[in-house]
Structure 1
Amino acid sequence: MRTWTAPALSKLPGKGDLPRLFNTATGRFEHTTLPNGRATLYVCGITPYDATHLGHAFTYLSYDLLQRAWLDAGYAVEYAQNITDVDDPLLERAAQTHKNWEGLAAEQIGLFRSDMYQLKMLPPQHYVAVTEVVQPIAYAVLKLLKHGFAYEVDTPEATANDIYFDYKAVTEQGVWQLGDITKLLPAEYLTLAAERGGDPDRAGKRDPLDPLLWRAAREGEPAWESPVGYGRPGWHVECAVIAAEALGTPFSVQGGGADLPFPHHEFSAATAAALYRNPLAHLYSHTALVSYQGHKMSKSRGNLVFVHKLLQAGYSGSEIRLALAAHHYRTEWEWQDGEIDRARARLARWAKGFATERADQTSAAAVLLQLRQALANDLDTPVMLAVLDAAAATGVDDPQTVVAAVQNLLGIEINLASGE
C-alpha cells in the first residue's frame, strides 16, 4: 500500500540517547531493545470507515516521536503499520451510508494519508492492508489448525465453519500465557472481550475468550478462496502475521492506544507465539485515550475532533502537533476547544523569542541536550515544551540549531521570520 512523502530531517550536532519507555507488559521503564542493531516498530493502524480524529493523531504522534528519538540516537528504524480494510465496522458503515465498502475504505485511507502528511508523520516502510495479505494469513491459520492451536466451530449460517484460536492449548505449550501483556481479573477479560470485538457468548467455543481466526463466508460479505475455506481473516491474526512478516520476531516495540492491550495485543502476541515460537515484541507501549465533551473520543459516540477539519480551518500541522505534544502520551486528558489556539500562540512566542537577540542568551547546545534527555525519558514532551518556553523567554545564542532540533525531535516547524 502506498504511504505518504516523508518529512525532511536536518543534521544535528552530536547524538541523542537510546530512549526508554514504559513497558505495559512488565510495568517497568525499559530501554528499547534493538534486534540486529536496528529499531523495529509496529503500530496498529486504522479501520478506514471514518476520518482521522485527534485520538488517532495522538497515538501516531507518540510513535512518530519514538522514531525520531531512535534516529537522533543514530539507529536505523524499520516501521510497519497495518490497515484493517475489511472488518465488521467498515462493512456496517458502508451499509449505513449506502456505499461500496472498498470505495469507502479507499476514500478514508486517502484522507488518512493526507492527514499524516500534513502532520509531518514519518511514514512506515511497511504499510500493509489486510486485503493484500489474505493468503499469508490463511496459511497461518492452516498452520495453527495443523498444530492443534485452532479448531472449527459449527456455523450453519455460513458456507463452512468459523475457525477459532485455542489460547489454552498455546498456554499448555509454555510459549505464552494469558496475562503476558495485561494482568486483569477473569471478569475483566470477559467484559473487555465483549466490548472490543470478541464474542465470549458464541456457542461451541472451547473457551469464551478464544478469538476468531477465520470467518467463513456469509451471504453479502466479502470473502476470499483460501486453504482454510472461503472467508476472511479475524482481527488478531492479521496483525500477528503482518508484523512478523515485515519485521521478524521479536521486534522492538508494539505500539497502540490504551484500548488495545486486551484483547488485541494479548491475542496477537499469543498467535505469534504459536506460529513462530517467539515473543511478538520486546516491549509493549500504549498511549492514553483522549476525551472530548466528557467522554473518550469514539466513532460510536460521535464526539470527534477531526484532523482534516482543523487543517481546513487554517491551523497548521505544526500547531496541531504542538497542541497534542502538550500532553504526555501515557496521561489521559480531555481536548478543550481552546487548545489549538493556545498552541498557535505558543508557537508564535517561540518564533519571536528565538528571533530576538538578547544580552543574556541561553546556550542552544544546552537546550538541545535538555530536549534530547526529555525525549529519551519516556517521550516526555511536556518537559520538552517547558524547556523551549524558557529558552524563548531568554533567547538563544544559536537560533538555527534550536529550530532544527524542534523540527527533528518534535516535528514542529518554527518560522523565525514570523517572529521578527
Structure 2
Amino acid sequence: MFENLSTTLDRAFKTLKGQGRITDINVAATVKEIRKALVDADVNYKVAKTVTDKIRDEAMGRKVLIAVEPGQLLVKIVHEELTQLMGGRLQDINVKGEPAVVLIAGLQGSGKTTFSGKLANYLKKQNRNVLLAACDIYRPAAIDQLKVLGQQVGVDVYAEPENKNAVQIARNAIQFAKANNKKVVIVDTAGRLAVDEQMMREIEEVKKAVQPTETLFVVDSMTGQDAVNTAKTFNDRLNFDGVVLTKLDGDTRGGAALSIRSVVDKPIKFISTGEKMEAIDLFYPERMASRILGMGDVLSLVEKAQQAFDEDEARRINQQIRKNQFNFDDFLSQLDQIKKMGNIKDLVSMIPGVSNMMKDVEIDDDAFTPIEAIIKSMTKKERANPDMIDGSRRQRIAKGSGTSIQQVNNLMKQFNDMRKMMRTMSKMGTGNEALRNIKNMGKR
C-alpha cells in the first residue's frame, strides 16, 4: 500500500537534504517532485496542484528552527497537508437508532459483500446485536456468500431467495430486526454501474424504504482515479455518508484515498485489506499520512494487537511460562492470535522506519505455514513435552511435515531459546511482553 508514493516522496525530500535553509529555489524543486509523485499515484491533478501550492506557501511562511533541518520541516508540512487532504480527523460510523440501518452500495466487484461481513464482525465485537440483510437479488450465489460470512462471524442473515424485489426484502429485514431485538441491520445490495439507470433507481428506492442511519459507498481502491469519478456520480444520486476503501493490500497507487475526500467531500470511514473478517480498520487521516511518509503507525499496530490477543489466554500462557511449562500447544495458540492481526507486510509497514527498508522484500502471509506443519506433525505428547523430542523423533516430524531436518532443528533451537528468555522475563514480572518475541520466530 502506497509503496511507490512513499518512495517517490522520500526522493523528493532528499532535494533539501544538507540545505541550510529554505529558499524559493529549493522549495520549488521539491514541491515539483511532490506534485509529480502525487499525480503518478493517480491523485486527481487539480487536487495535487492545490495541495502542493499549500505546501509551498506554508513552507515559505515558516521559519526554520536551528534544531530542525529544512527537509524535516517540509516533511512535517507535507504530513499536515496530507492529513487535511484526507479529512483531518477520524469520523466513525453512525449506528444510532432502533434498529440502526447501514446501507452498503457500490460498483460490481468492489467487495461490498465481504465488507458487510467484516462490518458485522466489527460491530459484534462492540456487543451490538447485528443482522445482515441479503438484498443482492442478481449475482449468483450472493445470498449464499453472505450466509457463509454470517456463519463465520456468528451473525444472523435475513434472506428471501425466491423474492426478486430488493426493496421489499429490505423492508422485511427491518421488520424482522425489530421483532428479534437486532440493534443494527447491514443491508448488502447488488453491485451496479453508475450508468445503469434502472439499477440506480432501485438503490434509491431501497434507501428511501429503509431510511438508513448510515449509507456507505464501497470503492475498490485498485481502480484508482476511476473510483473517485464513480464515487462522485453515486453521491449525486445517493448522497452517501461515507466511503469504504477496499483492497488496499493490492497493487494500488493510493490515488483514490488521497483524492476522494476532496472531490466528493465525504469522509473515508473504513479501509479493508484481505479476505479475513478481522481485516477492517477505521480510517485515521493522520495515521495514514504517517504511513505514506514512512513514519509508521504504532497506534494502529497496538490496537490490532489488543484486538487479537485474548486476555484470558494471555494470563493462561503467563502461568505456563512461570511454571516452566510453555509448550508447542501454547505456541500454536499464540501464532493463531498473531495471524488474526492481519496481513504481515501491512503490519510491518506500521513500524516506524521499517517500511522503506522492507519495500523490496516479499513477506509471504504463509510465512508461519512450515512452522505450523512441523508442530502439527508432532504427537500430542510431544507437543505437551518438547524436551522428549530426540533425534529420531525429529526425523519423523521432518518427514511428516514435508520439511527438512535442519528446519526442525532450527525451530527446536529457537523455541528453546525463546522459552529461556520468557522464563527470565517472567521472573522480572514482564512475562506478557516476552510473548511478543514469538513474532520474531516467524521472520527467521
TM-score, normalisation: structure 1: 0.28
Which structure is higher in strand share? Answer: 1
Which structure is higher in helix share? Answer: 2
Q: Which has the higher contact order (CA 8 A, sep 6+)?
A: 1
